Structures are given as C-alpha cells and as structure tokens.
Amino acid sequence: MEPDEWQLSPVAEPGERDDESTLRPRRLDEFVGQARVREQLQLVLQGATRRGAPPDHVLLSGPPGLGKTSLAMIIAAELGRPIRITSGPALERAGDLAAMLSNLTDGEVMFIDEIHRIARPAEEMLYLAMEDFRVDVVVGKGPGATSIPLEIAPFTLVGATTRSGSLTGPLRDRFGFTAHMEFYTPEELELVLRRSARILGIDLHAEGGAEIAGRSRGTPRIANRLLRRVRDYAEVRADGTVTREIARAALAVYDVDELGLDRLDRAVLSALVRSFGGGPVGVATLAVAVGEEPTTVEEVCEPFLVRAGMLARTPRGRVATALAWSHLGLTAPNDVPGWAAPTLFDE
Ligand SMILES: Nc1ncnc2c1ncn2[C@@H]1O[C@H](COP(=O)(O)OP(=O)(O)OP(=O)(O)O)[C@@H](O)[C@H]1O
Ligand SMILES: [Mg+2]
C-alpha cells in the first residue's frame, strides 16, 4: 500500500489475514488486556468444564479489531473442542444453517461472525437450536409441508458482533454470557506489541513500543499494522532496531500523528474547520470536500474522531469541537462545544 492511501481503519485489509493468524493469541493466558472479560470468560469455561457440560452460548460484542475472532477460537481451544466457523451474511438460507447444526458433534463450538447480519429464517431456526438443541426441518411446500423435529448435539454458540444494538431481543436473550470488549489502554497495547515483536523477530525497544501504542487508537489490529510499517522503515533506513526515534520517524512517513490521526482524519477535520467554519455540515458534503466516499468518512474516520472528542454528530450535521481546532493549531470561535459526548459504538 502506498503511504498516500494509508488509512488507519480498524477493519482488516485484504492480505492482512495471514499476518493476523500468525499473531493471534491461542490461549486465554496469551490474550492481553480485557482483564474483566478474561476473568468472566474463565469462570464460564471452568464452571462448564467442572459440570462436564458445554458452556452457555457466548456473545462477543465490540468494535472491529479488538479480538473477538481470537477469543472465539480461544474458547474452543480452552474447551479442547473443534470449532466451526461461519458468518451472518453466509447464512442466508435456513437450510444451510440446518445442515451445519445437524453436523455438529457433542460439545462443538459454532462461531457465527457478524451475527447481527443473519437472515430472519436462519435466526428463527437458531432460537430453537440454542434453547432446545433441536431444529425443525420443513419438508415439502405449501399446505402439504410438514416440519420434522431433529435433535442436534449440545453445542456452544459463540456469536460476534460490532453492533450489538442491532441484534434482536430474542436472539440476545438466548446468550448466557455477553462479553463487552473495550478499547485497550496504551499499556495493554504495549504488551500486545511486545508479544507481536517477539513472534515476528523484531527488536522492539520499550520506548519504541510505547510510541506505537500511543497512536494505535486502542486497537490491537492497528497496533500490529503500525508495527509492521515501522519494521519496514527500521529495516530499510536503519539497522532494524525499533527505537523511539525510529518509530517516530516511521510514523511521520505514514502521516500518523501523536494522537493516532492519519492523513484522512486530519483532512476531514481540516475541511470541517477551514471550509465550513467548524460546522454543522452534512457528512455527504464533508466527504466530497475530502474526496472520499461518505461511508469511509462515516465508518473509518468518525468513530475515532468522536471518541477522541474532536467531532460531534449533531442532528444538524457534523461539528468540530474546541479540541479539533487546537489540534490543528487554530483558535476556536467562542461558541464551539468544548467536548463532544462520545456516541455509543452501536449508534
Ligand atoms: N488481546 C489480544 N492480545 C494480543 N493480540 C490481539 C488481542 N486482540 C487482538 N489481537 C490482535 O489483533 C488482531 C485482530 O483481532 P481479531 O481478528 O480477533 O479482532 P476482531 O474483533 O475479530 O475484529 P473484526 O471485528 O474486524 O472481526 C489479531 O490477529 C491479533 O493479532
Ligand atoms: Mg473478527
């Protein structure tokens, strides 16, 4: 990827998958951070193991790149059971789901990624499967159709979603445990980076790690991506060691600033402040001003800018906060909001 196209999206890029599987933590004790979720999950898993029964169904909820897929695989590994992986969009036809469910073996883990995107008929089939370990297979069509109940093996469903708010009530209620993943602290990200550097054979100094961690938007996927870019720089322009100076110089090349804003984030803020007087302005107009798709601005830039307290989403449009003005080295007019209440991720 050219530095010009470089964006700090928390969403995985094509080609990144291989790296991700190398760096993915395999067991719960390798999983850095999320202490609360880890403790809760450990109890769920150990309790079930003691009883010799599959644990309750688990819902993993949180923004992209925080480790939901990793945790799903860890659950299966900790239980010593196989895992079957699918996703909401892949389950368009209930028949496909019925086939998967009826092939499950005792105690198997079934992982449905993006479970909020599951089609309605499949979702309804899932209710019964989760509750009674049963599916109703409909045979025939029209008035002659009959439904044949089919027993399935007791299993554990692990669902992952970036939008738990768009899950229907009945589906949400059938999960015995919901893990709410939080953004990572810079200290936790330093641990993630230290582990990744060890696996990739990168000589990462503690200060270099801290520098990268502070600009990774609370997201392990972004931290790992920045580490790989800094490694390129360190190997090409220096002796491969990632010191603070090297990390800083590399991140400057990639236009990632001290707060983790990239070129596009700053372009959005700059357009908002310089061209529209700080707003309010509609997201479509803002996107045209920076030459991007509205969805990119909305889904890649805005969540971070809102969370960083630099941009507010108001009913009349996007507004820059005082922090946005000062980050651009400008003085805000008096009536600018000082701080934007962070919008919940689900909105
Ligand atoms: N707690 C962690 N410790 C170490 N590395 C982590 C951790 N969480 C995530 N990672 C790293 O971040 C990468 C992305 O994690 P993962 O794919 O599990 O995120 P996700 O929440 O499933 O994202 P998405 O919503 O985009 O599917 C992993 O490959 C792994 O390298
Ligand atoms: Mg995932």
DSSP conformational letter for 340: P
| Residue 318 labelled as part of a binding site | yes
Answer yes or no: are the C-beta atoms of 266 and 227 closer than 8 Å.
Answer: no
Q: How confident is the model at residue 333, as a pLDDT?
A: 83
Q: How confident is the model at residue 246, as a pLDDT?
A: 97
Residue 21's pLDDT band (boundaries 50, 70, 90)? confident
Residue 54's pLDDT band (boundaries 50, 70, 90)? very high
For domain 184-253, is the CATH number 1.10.8.60? yes
For the chain, domain boundaries: 34-180, 184-253, 263-327
Pick from 162, 158, 164: nearest CA to 84: 158
- Is the pLDDT confidence value at 343 over 50? no
Distances (CA, A) of 81 to 27, 155, 158, 256, 279: 13, 10, 13, 41, 53
Name residue 113's beta-bridge partners.
Answer: 87
| The ligand 1 atom nearest the CA atom of 184 | 1
Q: How confident is the model at residue 240, as a pLDDT?
A: 93
Is any ligand 1 atom within 6 A of the Cβ of residue 156? no
- Is the pLDDT confidence value at 237 over 60? yes
Residue 337's pLDDT band (boundaries 50, 70, 90)? low
Q: Which of 188-192, 279-283, 343-347 has the highest mean pLDDT?
A: 188-192
Q: Do domains 184-253 and 263-327 have the same CATH topology?
A: no
Q: How confident is the model at residue 300, as a pLDDT?
A: 83
Across 213-241, average pLDDT:
95
Residue 346's pLDDT band (boundaries 50, 70, 90)? very low
Q: Which residue has the higher pLDDT, 291 or 137?
A: 291
Give CATH superfamily name and number for 34-180: P-loop containing nucleotide triphosphate hydrolases (3.40.50.300)
| The ligand 1 atom nearest the CA atom of 63 | 25
For domain 263-327, is the CATH number 1.10.10.10? yes
Is any ligand 1 atom within 6 A of the Cβ of residue 33? yes
Across 2-19, average pLDDT:
68
- Coil/strand/helix, residue 83: strand
How many alpha carbons fall within 13 Å on the CB side of residue 6? 20
Dihedral of CA 46/52/56/57: which sign?
A: positive
| The ligand 1 atom nearest the CA atom of 20 | 29
Q: How confident is the model at residue 165, as a pLDDT?
A: 86
Q: How confident is the model at residue 2, as a pLDDT?
A: 43
Residue 281's pLDDT band (boundaries 50, 70, 90)? very high
Across 240-260, average pLDDT:
94
Q: What long-range pairs does 270-276 form, CB within 8 A, spacing at least 24?
A: 270/328, 272/311, 272/318, 272/319, 272/320, 272/324, 273/320, 273/324, 273/325, 273/328, 273/330
Instruction: Record the pTM.
Output: 0.88
The overall average pLDDT reported for the chain is 90
Across 209-219, average pLDDT:
95
- Coil/strand/helix, residue 281: strand
What residues are neighbours of ligand 2 (ion), with CB under 5 Å? 68-69
Pocket mutation for ligand 1, best pick of 69, 184, 225 (most atoms within 8 Å of C-beta):
69
Residue 13's pLDDT band (boundaries 50, 70, 90)? confident
Across 82-92, average pLDDT:
94
**What angle (nearest 5°) sits at the alpha carbon of residue 208, between those of residues 206 and 213?**
90
Residue 269's pLDDT band (boundaries 50, 70, 90)? very high
The model's pLDDT over 139-169, given as tens digits with 9 standing for 90+, comes to 888 888 888 899 999 999 999 999 888 899 9
